[in-house]
Structure 1
Amino acid sequence: MKFQNLLLFALFAIFVLQVQANGDAEDYKQWKHDFPKTCKELFKTNHCNKCQSLMWDHFKNPGQCATAFNLGRDIYEVIKDSDKEPKPYDLTFFKKGLNKYCHEDFHCSQQKVEKIYNKIQDVCKHELSVKFDWSDDPKNFKDITAYAAYGTLLTYYTGIPGRKALCIKNNHGDFCSYEFVEKLTKWMKKKTNADPKAIVSHDLKFVIKGDGKKIRIPRSFFCDPCWRKMANIYGDYMKEHKLKKSVEKNIWGSHQDLEELYLPHCTYHKRGLGEILKARDSKLNERSANPAFSVLSHRMNKFHSLAI
């Protein structure tokens, strides 16, 4: 079983990662037939340490605060009830699972979830000191216990803002999370030639194709109105409720780094930053026969490459 689909990682783009699990029929078969029955089986060990045992307890009884896990469960149940296998880039099951999840009751107090994620930070202190390259393909992560510790921690830490962000609606009454995922999926399908093994990196910086090639995700996606509406929910929560500094540093650096990456300053973000820059770049290229504008065109091309 692919461990990254077992304990769902919940940093900002949890809904995007769900699409990966939704779109990989092979993963679904493994979920269906190879679901681990014990902590030892899950972590492939003869003895589970305290951190592994704590994660296993949450895995068996996630509770309502585990937003990412519960959304994944609902998507899985929708797939199972349909008696059909998911197809890559088909968002049908994601949409139905999201709708099901957002219509369920949600009872999770800050006091309760804070107690849970603080205990994870204490018990899994060693595991949460391990550093990962979140732009890398998760299959390259060798320390599955440390990887699971981050996933479990973030599943609970983002439980309250995640629920709100996933279920918030756009001006048309549709879920913002679905609208954003649909846009990203269409772009991803085109850029990868519908590669069925392509995934999104955990930091949402790259699409990683089945052959390992990375394609950078345009930063213009972070100027999308729905994205900004959701990201602001996470950002406000993280400012008010902080993790230990050492843990935050290993995940996203500083809050300033987080905002600069996921909430960049956008001009006319309703149209999309990349679209505006491309339009301007195109006009400058048309004028590049003029020596004066050829210099500006070159600099605009460099600026555009940085922006995306």
Structure 2
Amino acid sequence: MAYLSDGIRVNSEGLLGCLAVFCSAFFFYLSTVVIRWSEPWGTIDPAFFVFARFFLGFVVICSILLIRKQKISARRYDLLIARSVTNCLAVYFFYKAVDMTSVANGNILNMTFPLFVAVFSWIFLKDQRDLLTSAIVGIAFGGVWLILSPGSMGLDMNNLWGLASGFTASFSIISLNLSRQFHDSETILFYMFGLGALITFACFHDKIYVPDIRSLYYLFLCAGFGICGQYLLTLGFRYVTAVEGGIISSTRILLAAILGPYIAMDPPLSPSGWIGAILIFGANIYLAIRKAKNINSDRKKNS
């Protein structure tokens, strides 16, 4: 097994993991493209897409548990509920952003969650405060502004849906990291999909109906891509380092920016939009590398 700088591995399992994480980013992107594809054939509310994703995911995870004859083991219900609620909000805001703006803007702004995690770490953890990280995060938020108000200083309010998805996703990631200390992946996914479906149905039952064949096709396609992305991400992170996973996951920003006009009927990003996307992408890479260095440093101190 060969190693590059900052703990990046080069071997067959590592390559498989990298491919899985990249495919997960592509499938997450495709799940939002389906929302745009469905528009000419009728109006499917974003909440219905969210419900379909969680409901199908719940069916899949229950099937896996039955096949394996595996039982879920919940130890910290507060963390499981926090993960489920924040993830549900993040996905709804994400899909709403795609519906109200563009597939590119929705995906790019959704990927701001590492910036918010860095901000919360700076606020609550004194040892996470350093000048370079603060400057890079500040510049990245300048990139966020370029996405929010392309070509002018006026704010497009609809883009706030995308920013809200990144904000709530940061809480979802934090609660996931805490929950992993007490639960296996299957238990977390069981509650995430199950509670997500219940919450969505309770809040948006008037938007959910018995779909016709064409609507069912788009709902299933969107949900299928999202669930495949979720499982590929889980698989990939077993074989890649935090640096690799963070960098490859962030390629969804570039996928959305490049492919939008070709497969999602998006208008091309403006020059300011491209600058904003690159700034956010660059900041995410830096934060992933910094996180890995901090983990390695902590391990050396404890060894």
- Asked which structure has the greater CA Rg, the reply is 1
Alignment TM-score, normalising by the size of structure 2? 0.31
Alignment TM-score, normalising by the size of structure 1? 0.31
